[in-house]
């Protein structure tokens, strides 16, 4: 099967060059994508590819000819020439011309790609963070965290019972995709909360680094509805392979519906967050917080990753005194900066809820109910 696919290489490349629109990304070539800039990048890529092929055929052709014809075993006598100004000038000028021929379209495409949309229809702030993406829609008042989907997460563990091959979108699936409308200008303002990440969806045609302390704008306009998948593309620590980027492009009507739905859900959550605090409410709210903030390292099942992220189920801290547990959540770990301080990211009540959840979820039945007042005192 492998070899048959390899034989397809030249054929795929040629058809890909001619295809006006390519539905599925190819296994051998860059995807043509669903935005104008992705198609421009693809055309640029194919132009470069054919130029390289042409030069390669020329240079390797001459070289191979010499290897075959000018062998001593065939009786070739070495001639003595070692200079020829004309030839040297010619083969300096021709590459210059080729390069100018490449540079002109490349510059044009580059300028176009970087041209900001005059008035974006939708703005999304994209926060990279170890190891998840947070999407904030400032105008719609929506924000959510996008984590690797649990199917992939379970199958990605060492000695997992699940098989990666049983996940059709293994490592390319998230719980909450970014949703955007088709045919509209969407401005992504990309930044990071900790280290450098890079937001990349091949079918959208570019990647942008997520750099702490800086917003990198990227304007996209997607023509066709669909689900487009990519991954973080800048080494960002041990979870680097586990932060996929999934974009769902939907029609503007569906998009409006989605926004309404999200706002409703947010209202519900806010209500939950202000409901009288008791064990049941704390567990529910705590699970929400846990899934978006903690699960990317400690795993949804609390088992962590041996040798890298400690297990919370039956852990020394999660089943020991509450004080120690609060301290590490609020102030982070002294030993390992990857366990960040959540004190200024989460409210007293959120911390109380998530700590309550961690102390009672899985098999950690400590029975402790941690209150927001206790968190305030521990700060």
Partner 1 sequence: MSQTADSVLDQMEHEHSHHGPRKGPLRWLLTVNHKDVGTMYMVLALVALLVGGVMALLIRAELFQPGLQLTQPQFFNSLTTMHGLTMIFLAIMPGLTGLANWMVPLQVGADDMYWPRVNNWAFWMLPPAAIMLWIGFFMPQGAPGGGWTLYAPLSSTYAPPSIDWVIMAIHIMGISSILGALNIILTILKMRAKGMRLWDMPLFTWTWLITGFLLLLAMPTLAIAVTMLLTDRHLGTAFFDATNGGDPVLFQHIFWFFGHPEVYIMILPAFGIVSEIVPAFSRKPLFGRTSMIWAVIAITFLSAIVWAHHMFTVGLPVEAQVLFMYTTMLIAIPTGIKIFNWVATMWRGSMTFEAPMLWALAFIFLFTIGGFSGLMLADVPADYQYHDTYFVVAHLHYVVVTGSLFAIIAGVYYWLPKWTGHMYNSALAKWHFWLSVISVNVTFFPMHFAGLAGMPRRIPDYPLQFMDFNMISTVGSFVFGFSQLLFIWLIIQSVRGGKKAGDRPWDGAKGLEWTLPSPPPYHTFTEPPSPQTVREEGPHGYH
Please list every residue from 221 through 280 that binds Cu ion, using CB under 5 A: 232, 236, 243
Token digits for 367?
A: 């029975």
234 or 254: CB nearest partner 1: 234
Question: Cα separation of 136 and 189, whole Å?
Answer: 10
Stretch that binds partner 1, among 83-91, 140-148, 176-184, 261-269 (CB under 8 A): 83-91
Among 17, 22, 36, 102, binds partner 1 (CB under 8 A): 102
Among 22, 143, 150, 157, binds partner 1 (CB under 8 A): 157
CA 198 to chain centre: 6
The torsion angles phi and psi of 198, rounded to 5 degrees, stand at -140, 135
- As to burial, measured by CB atoms within 10 angstroms (0-12 exposed, 13-18 middle, 19+ buried), residue 273 is middle
284 or 331: CB nearest partner 1: 331
- Identify residues 182-201 at the interface with Cu ion (CB under 5 A): 197
117 near partner 1, rule: CB under 8 A: no
DSSP code at position 189: E
Residue among 297, 296, 291 at smallest CA distance from 354: 291
Rg (CA), the chain: 28
Q: Shortest distance, CB of residue 132 to partner 1, whole angstroms?
A: 15
Question: Cα separation of 180 and 178, whole Å?
Answer: 7
Among 186, 236, 317, 322, binds partner 1 (CB under 8 A): 236
Q: Which secondary-structure segment (H or E) carries 200? A: strand 197-201
Token digits for 73?
A: 């075993």
- How many other C-beta atoms are found inside a 10 Å radius of the C-beta of residue 75? 6
Q: Shortest distance, CB of residue 196 to Cu ion, whole angstroms?
A: 8
Q: Which residues is 117 bridged to in the sheet?
A: none
> With CB cut-offs between 5 and 8 Å by kind, which of Cu ion, partner 1, none does residue 138 bind?
none
Q: Which residues is 248 bridged to in the sheet?
A: 179, 227
- Identify residues 350-379 at the interface with partner 1 (CB under 8 A): none
> With CB cut-offs between 5 and 8 Å by kind, which of Cu ion, partner 1, none does residue 97 bind?
none
Q: How many residues does the chain have?
A: 379
The torsion angles phi and psi of 218, rounded to 5 degrees, stand at -140, 125
Among 44, 188, 250, 378, binds partner 1 (CB under 8 A): 44
Among 125, 143, 200, 287, binds partner 1 (CB under 8 A): 200
77 near partner 1, rule: CB under 8 A: yes
- Identify residues 241-300 at the interface with partner 1 (CB under 8 A): 241-242
- Checking DSSP bridges between strand 197-201 and strand 226-231, what pairing results, if any? unpaired
59 or 260: CB nearest partner 1: 59
Among 18, 20, 80, 278, binds partner 1 (CB under 8 A): 80
> With CB cut-offs between 5 and 8 Å by kind, which of Cu ion, partner 1, none does residue 141 bind?
none
Question: Cα separation of 64 and 45, whole Å?
Answer: 27
Token digits for 231?
A: 């991954």
> What number of CA atoms fall less than 13 Å from residue 167's CA on the CB side?
20
95 near partner 1, rule: CB under 8 A: yes
Among 7, 20, 118, 158, binds partner 1 (CB under 8 A): 158
Q: Shortest distance, CB of residue 254 to partner 1, whole angstroms?
A: 26
> With CB cut-offs between 5 and 8 Å by kind, which of partner 1, Cu ion, none does residue 267 bind?
none
- Identify residues 90-109 at the interface with Cu ion (CB under 5 A): none
Q: Count interface residues toward Cu ion (CB under 5 A).
A: 4
Q: Shortest distance, CB of residue 329 to partner 1, whole angstroms?
A: 19
DSSP reduced 3-state for 186: strand
Question: Cα separation of 170 and 319, whole Å?
Answer: 33
Helix axes 279-289, 348-360, angle to 10 degrees: 100
Among 177, 202, 286, 302, binds partner 1 (CB under 8 A): 202
Q: Shortest distance, CB of residue 61 to partner 1, whole angstroms?
A: 10
Residue numbers at the binding site for Cu ion (CB under 5 A): 197, 232, 236, 243
């Amino acid at each position: 099967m492998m070899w048959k696919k390899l034989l397809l290489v030249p054929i795929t490349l040629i058809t890909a060059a001619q295809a006006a629109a390519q539905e599925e990304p190819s296994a051998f070539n860059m995807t043509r994508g669903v935005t104008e800039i992705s198609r421009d990048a693809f055309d640029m890529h194919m132009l470069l590819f054919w130029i390289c092929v042409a030069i390669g055929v020329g240079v390797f052709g001459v070289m191979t000819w010499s290897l075959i014809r000018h062998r001593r075993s065939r009786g070739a006598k070495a001639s003595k020439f070692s200079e020829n100004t004309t030839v040297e000038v010619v083969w300096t000028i021709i590459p210059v011309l080729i390069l100018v021929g490449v540079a002109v379209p490349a510059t044009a495409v580059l300028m176009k790609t970087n041209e900001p949309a005059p008035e974006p229809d939708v703005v999304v702030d994209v926060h990279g963070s170890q190891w998840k993406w947070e999407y904030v829609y400032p105008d719609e008042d929506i924000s959510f965290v996008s984590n690797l989907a649990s199917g992939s997460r379970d199958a990605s563990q060492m000695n997992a019972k699940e098989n990666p091959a049983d996940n059709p979108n293994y490592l390319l699936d998230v719980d909450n995709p970014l949703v955007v409308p088709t045919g509209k200008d969407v401005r992504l303002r990309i930044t990071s909360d900790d280290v450098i990440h890079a937001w990349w969806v091949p079918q959208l045609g570019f990647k942008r680094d997520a750099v702490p302390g800086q917003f990198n704008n990227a304007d996209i306009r997607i023509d066709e509805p669909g689900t487009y998948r990519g991954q973080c593309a800048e080494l960002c620590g041990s979870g680097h392979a586990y932060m996929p980027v999934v974009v769902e492009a939907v029609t503007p009507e569906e998009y409006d519906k989605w926004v309404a739905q999200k706002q409703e859900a947010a209202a519900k959550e806010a209500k939950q967050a202000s409901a009288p605090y008791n064990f049941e409410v704390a567990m529910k709210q705590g699970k929400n917080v846990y899934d978006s903030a903690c699960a990317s390292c400690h795993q949804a099942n609390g088992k962590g990753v041996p040798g890298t992220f400690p297990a919370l189920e039956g852990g020394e801290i999660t089943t020991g005194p509450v004080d120690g547990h609060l301290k590490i959540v609020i102030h982070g770990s002294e030993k390992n900066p990857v366990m960040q301080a959540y004190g200024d990211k989460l409210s007293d009540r959120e911390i109380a809820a998530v700590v309550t959840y961690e102390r009672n979820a899985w098999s950690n039945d400590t029975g402790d109910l941690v209150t927001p007042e206790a968190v305030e005192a521990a700060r």
